[in-house]
């Protein structure tokens, strides 16, 4: 394969921001929007039903970014500031998340008359919605944020204190354990998931494999020897197109459900796709991924993710109450456009206020160092 000229390890390490990753966020959030619009049901093609995999790709991306930020801080400072890490996570995730949880709980509980919304609310505020039996309308997507925040309660400690020679093998073992759980290898322990009231423990659906894979990519790219191995395998100009085609074919041909081996292979390809973007930054996908509108949607994708079901509810209500119709394509484009508008306003107001506090940490938190981006 010609044109292997992958980026050097020194070039990769010197980057303050990864050029293609906001464009990758755009792809992820667009897939999620597509899936929740249900427009794919009008066509009946299997690969069109797989928009939910945008969340899995978000997991891969998140695992890579958070782990890279911490490894680079450790390399610069000689240590990782846990207080600084969790302060930045708090400012990025909590304010808009709590805002959405609060307004949706009040709307569903008061206006829609679902009193149980208030009983479910603690699960959302505590990032336990992936273990919640039943959802509050408009908050179903928060399960993925719960998975992430649970992961980041534990992963930084493992990353900092586990010997580096053991760390990659530990992550591989954790991925294997998650895969075995997903394919039912441990079903003999308990035929039914443990449930206590609204709490239901269903580990196979709490998928940590993609976020672990993203973390593993970050660890391997952080060291020159393993970087060279991955760059030689994936650092080609056309590699994103090749892996994108492989991912397309997997989505087309793999049967439902995608738990277990199907999901595992998809996550592997997603990880390879991201490695290709990182080790050969000027690649075939770069002109598209770095277009200004694409980048901007990627930058505000966290807000779009949180607000898009609210936007969909609004679009569907207007269609039904005003026009007495229910067009799936109107749902798709109306939801996407309205989500972008709401997320942009949120980014410039509510989120901007808290972003500014990164430079004014409390006295007990060490000043944050310059980093290349956030996971969401």
Report if residue 135 sits inside a domain: yes
Report if residue 372 sits inside a domain: no
Report if residue 171 sits inside a domain: yes
Report if residue 369 sits inside a domain: no
Residue 35 — very low, low, confident or very high, per pLDDT cuts 50/70/90? very high
Per-residue pLDDT reduced to its tens digit, 272-290? 999 999 999 999 999 999 9
Total domains, the chain: 1
What is the C-alpha separation between 31 and 35, in angstroms, rounded?
6
Between the alpha carbon of residue 248 and those of residues 53, 70, 74, 298, the distances in Å are: 11, 32, 37, 21
Report if residue 124 sits inside a domain: yes
Provide the domain limits for residue 141. 9-359
Model pTM score: 0.91
Residue 369 — very low, low, confident or very high, per pLDDT cuts 50/70/90? very low
Report if residue 367 sits inside a domain: no
Report if residue 376 sits inside a domain: no
What does the DSSP assignment read for 216-244?
HHHHHHTSHHHHHHHHHHH--TTHHHHHH
Report if residue 4 sits inside a domain: no
State yes or no: pLDDT of 196 exceeds 90. Answer: no
What is the C-alpha separation between 315 and 51, in angstroms, rounded?
20
Q: What pLDDT is stored for residue 372 in this prediction?
A: 47
């Amino acid at each position: 394969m010609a044109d292997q000229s992958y980026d050097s390890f020194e070039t990769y390490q010197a980057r303050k921001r990864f050029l293609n990753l906001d464009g990758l966020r755009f792809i992820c959030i667009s897939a999620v929007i597509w899936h929740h619009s249900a427009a794919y049901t009008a066509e009946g093609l299997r690969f069109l039903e797989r928009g939910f995999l945008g969340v899995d790709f978000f997991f891969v991306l998140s695992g890579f970014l958070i782990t890279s930020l911490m490894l680079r801080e450790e390399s610069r400072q000689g240590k990782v500031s846990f207080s600084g890490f969790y302060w930045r996570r708090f400012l990025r995730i909590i304010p808009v998340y709590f805002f959405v949880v609060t307004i949706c709980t009040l709307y569903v509980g008061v206006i829609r008359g679902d009193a149980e919304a208030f009983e479910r609310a603690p699960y959302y505020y505590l990032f336990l919605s992936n273990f919640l039996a039943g959802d509050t309308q408009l908050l179903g997507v928060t399960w993925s944020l719960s998975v992430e925040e649970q992961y980041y309660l534990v992963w930084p400690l493992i990353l900092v204190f586990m010997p580096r020679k053991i760390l990659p093998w530990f992550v591989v073992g954790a991925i294997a354990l998650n895969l075995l759980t997903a394919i039912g290898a441990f079903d003999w322990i308990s035929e039914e998931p443990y449930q206590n009231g609204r709490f239901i423990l269903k580990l196979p659906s709490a998928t940590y494999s993609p976020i672990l894979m993203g973390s593993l990519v970050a660890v391997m790219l952080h060291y020159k020897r393993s970087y060279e191995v991955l760059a030689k395998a994936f650092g080609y100009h056309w590699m994103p197109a090749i892996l994108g085609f492989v991912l397309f074919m997997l989505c087309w041909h793999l049967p439902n459900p995608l738990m277990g081996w199907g999901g595992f292979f998809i996550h592997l390809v997603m990880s390879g796709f991201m490695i290709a973007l990182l080790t050969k930054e000027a690649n075939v996908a770069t002109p598209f991924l770095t277009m200004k509108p694409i980048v901007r949607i990627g930058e505000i994708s966290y807000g779009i993710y949180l607000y898009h079901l609210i936007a969909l509810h609004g679009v569907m209500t207007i269609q039904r109450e005003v026009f007495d119709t229910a067009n799936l394509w109107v749902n798709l484009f109306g939801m996407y456009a309205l989500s972008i508008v709401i997320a942009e306003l949120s980014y410039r107001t509510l989120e901007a206020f808290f972003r500014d506090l990164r430079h004014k940490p409390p006295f007990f938190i060490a000043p944050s160092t310059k980093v290349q981006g956030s996971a969401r």
